Chains A and B, each alone.
Chain A
Amino acid sequence: MEAAGQLANAGYTVSLMEKEKETGGHLNDWYKLFPDRRSSSEVKKYLDKKVNSKNIRIFTGTSIEKLHSNKDGFLVITKDGTELKADAIVVATGFDLFKSSRKEEYGYGIYDNVITSADLEAMFRKGKITLTDGKSPKTVGIVHCVGSRDEKVGNFYCSKLCCVTAVKQAIEIREHLPESKVFCFYMDMRMGGAHYEELYREAQEAYGVNFIRGKVSEASESINNKLVIKVEDTLAGRPLKIELDMLVLMAGMEMSEGGIRLAGQTGLKTGENRFFAPADHHYANNISNIKGIFYAGTCTAPMNITETISHARSAVSEVINYFNNNKA
């Protein structure tokens, strides 16, 4: 959306393809954003305003069926048969959340009160955190790195945002349920963004969130319908068995299914992490291996919203350079 808006501002005609019914992607599902916990709707409003341009045609609820390139540029054929010509393509297929049921040992989809970070955001948006029996949880565990830095599921990379999302959500749980106890189970706290470390400190000092360094090995259910988890506290050097009311899985980021399909169809290169591989990670981060196709945002790697918007802007810069140098 940012790239479309910037290109439109520069006077280019843009067709914005969105497979969902609404533009905005995962932003539509989130409640508040880290690190300042502003409402996600504020950023969505900014982006909506950005694409509200006479130079932009938005196609929602459809995806690309075929993408042909020829000497004149590109021909895009959508699933519903619409044909569009384009001089350049910006791929912004984003990411999919890791399917937490693949980490079978955590019991997502099996045990009632094992949920994902996205499920918790949906509860925040409804204004109520509840167990399946309608009661409020008193003890909540948060598992970091679900589907990230995990050889077993084939994802070696760090999804980068789960740590700070966990901190944000832990604070929000404590705000919604002041009587609750929250435990975060982490491998490393990767607080690399602006104000992340401060949020982490606030979670501990002001909200009393417990951070335990260790990976949860398994979850199960007791006779009282409580979740029983096993985890090693690696700082204390001892195994723990804890009863919880709710377990929240910090699902990592993966290359989107749409992106994988597009890569297979077009020959766009992907990296070991299965995201699109830019021509150069340092100085050609928006450029693909196919002339005229550019990347914007999390289709190349996990990024936060700030980085995604910056990446989209740099993609626009590359597109304009391309037009000036190759199409003039």
Chain B
Amino acid sequence: MKLEGKKAIWSDYQKEIADDRYFYVRSCVRQNFFPGSETAFLKIMREELKRDVYEHPCHTTCTGIGYHGDIVPVETAMTVVARQFSLMTEAGYENLLPSCITSFGLYTEILDTWHHFPEVEEKIKKQLKKATGREFSKPKNLAHASDVIYKFRKEIAAKAKYKLINKNTGEPLKVVDHIGCHYAKMFPSKGIGGAEYPYVLAGMVEEWGGRVVDYPERRHCCGFGFRQYLVQANRGFSIACSKEKFESMKPFKPDMIITNCPGCPMFLDRWQYVINEMEGKRYGQNGEGVPVFTYEEVAGLVLGYDPWDLGLQMHQTDCEPVLDKIGIDYDPDEKYNTSIPDEKTRIPGLVNV
């Protein structure tokens, strides 16, 4: 493989990312899947990078899952999104910062639709006004939260306590980067590095000391694919997709997976447990699973945050193999400490992968 070829493509796909004053919109599912990620993001942005990130308590789902699941009509999705914009306008912000990849994709799609069909935008403005009395301005800048971490990857590296390097061998960790479908596959020019060879996560991995693995099923779906999972009868396709990826990446001996989508880490993490239960197969080294992280968790780890504050105990595939390789200091006994006074520590009954 020629890295120069990839670099040439990466240079074609750069985007403007606002430097400060972000209106942050959370994902409707991430806090259940990986509860520490968004908190870690806000901590990094506010405390490490000293940026102004605002959250509005009245923000709702963007309806992206329903839209892509064919149960929410596009005009409804647009009107809900217009309401999010009105909250941003009301708060005095102009730089929209979604946490979710599907939200980012939906916002991008809607702004592009309005650009090409201004009459649709006018119609949505009227609908929002009629329904809520609200008005809005479109964001001046739209960047996914992973774009912003990519933008500040060097600053994070400068503050890092750890590197993505195997402390025993001195070798960079081999990292599989998995990009959410709605990040750039619909609008390649809106993603750093484009759709075929996205650089948004690869750039973080490289900057923090790791090495990205390019494997044949790199572009393959994580297994979420909305209707593959949301329609119960299709769930066999979901796990089959994830398995296809694991089988393909296994020969490259990846140390970890990094993701930037709500669904991808969920499915790549949980299905490893299920595949192990069903077939007794594990895809990591030494009979272990391949730990799966969000980019905020990885950023938090290199900055030296406590793994359990990052919520890594909520992963079903154990993260400890990577923590040990990097040499991260952690207390195994604190993993399931609920910190609730007068309540006994509860350890999940199921054994992790």
Binding site for B on A (CB under 8 A): 101, 104-105, 107-112, 218, 220-223, 228
Given contacts A104-B9, A221-B214, A223-B251, contact A112 B197 (CB under 8 A): no
Known A-B contacts A110-B2, A112-B2; A220 and B9 likewise in contact (beta carbons under 8 Å): no
The reply to whether B196 and A220 form a contact with Cβ atoms under 8 Å apart is: no
> Could you list 17 further interchain pairs (A-B, Cβ under 8 angstroms) beyond the known A110-B1, A110-B197, A222-B216?
A101-B5, A101-B8, A104-B9, A104-B194, A105-B196, A107-B5, A108-B5, A110-B6, A111-B1, A111-B2, A112-B2, A220-B217, A220-B218, A221-B216, A222-B215, A223-B251, A223-B252
CA distance A109 to B9 in the complex (A): 10
List the A side residues contacting B194 at CB < 8 Å. 104
Which residue on chain A has the smallest CB distance to residue B9? A104
Asked if B1 contacts A104 (CB within 8 A), the reply is: no
A-B contact count (CB 8 A): 43
- B219 nearest CB neighbor, chain A only: A218
Q: For residues 240 through 290 of chain B, which have their beta carbon under 8 Å from a beta carbon of chain A? A: 251-252
User: How many angstroms from the CA of A103 to the CA of B252 in the assembled complex?
Assistant: 26
Q: Which B residues are within 8 Å of any A CB, using their own CB? A: 1-2, 4-6, 8-9, 194-197, 214-219, 251-252
Q: How far is the CB of A259 from chain B (nearest CB, A)?
A: 24
Quick one: given A223-B251, A223-B252, are A109 and B216 in contact (CB under 8 Å)? Answer: no
Complex CA–CA separation, A218 to B2 (angstroms):
17
> Which A-chain residue is minimally distant from B194 (CB atoms)?
A104
Is A220 a contact partner of B214 (Cβ separation < 8 A)?
Answer: yes
Cα separation A111 to B216 with both chains bound (whole Å): 12
CB-nearest residue of chain B to A114: B5
Q: With a CB–CB cut-off of 8 A, which chain A residues contact B197?
A: 104, 110
Give Cα distance in the complex from A107 to B197, angstroms.
Answer: 10
Contacts of B251 in A (CB 8 A): 222-223
CA gap between A105 and B9 in the complex, in Å: 11
User: Hey, which chain B residues are within 8 Å of A221, CB to CB?
Assistant: 1, 214, 216
Judge whether A220 and B215 touch: CB under 8 Å.
yes
Is there contact, CB below 8 Å, between A110 and B5?
yes
CB distance from B348 to the nearest CB of A (A): 35
- Tell me, rounded to whole Å, the shortest Cβ–Cβ distance linking B248 to chain A: 8
- Residues in B whose Cβ lies below 8 Å from that of A223: 215, 251-252
A-B residue pairs, 7 tightest by C-beta: A109-B5, A110-B5, A104-B196, A223-B251, A228-B216, A220-B216, A105-B196
Chain A residues with CB under 8 Å of B195's CB are: 104
Q: Known contacts A220-B215, A220-B218, A223-B252; is A112 also within 8 Å of B1 by CB? A: yes
Chain A residues with Cβ below 8 Å from B252 are: 223
Does A109 lie within 8 Å of B8, measured CB to CB? yes
A112 to B214, CA, bound (A): 13
Give the residues in chain B near A107, CB-CB below 8 Å.
Answer: 5
| Residues from chain A with Cβ under 8 Å of B214 in the complex | 220-221
A101 to B7, CA, bound (A): 12
In the bound complex, residues from chain A placing their C-beta under 8 Å from that of B8 are 101, 109
- Measured CB to CB, the closest approach of chain A to B15, in angstroms, equals 17
Residues of A within 8 A of B6 (CB): 110
* Chain B residues with CB under 8 A of A111: 1-2
Chain A residues with CB below 8 A from B218, complex form: 220
Provide the bound-state CA to CA distance between A105 and B5, in Å. 12
Q: How far is the CB of B70 from chain A (nearest CB, A)?
A: 23
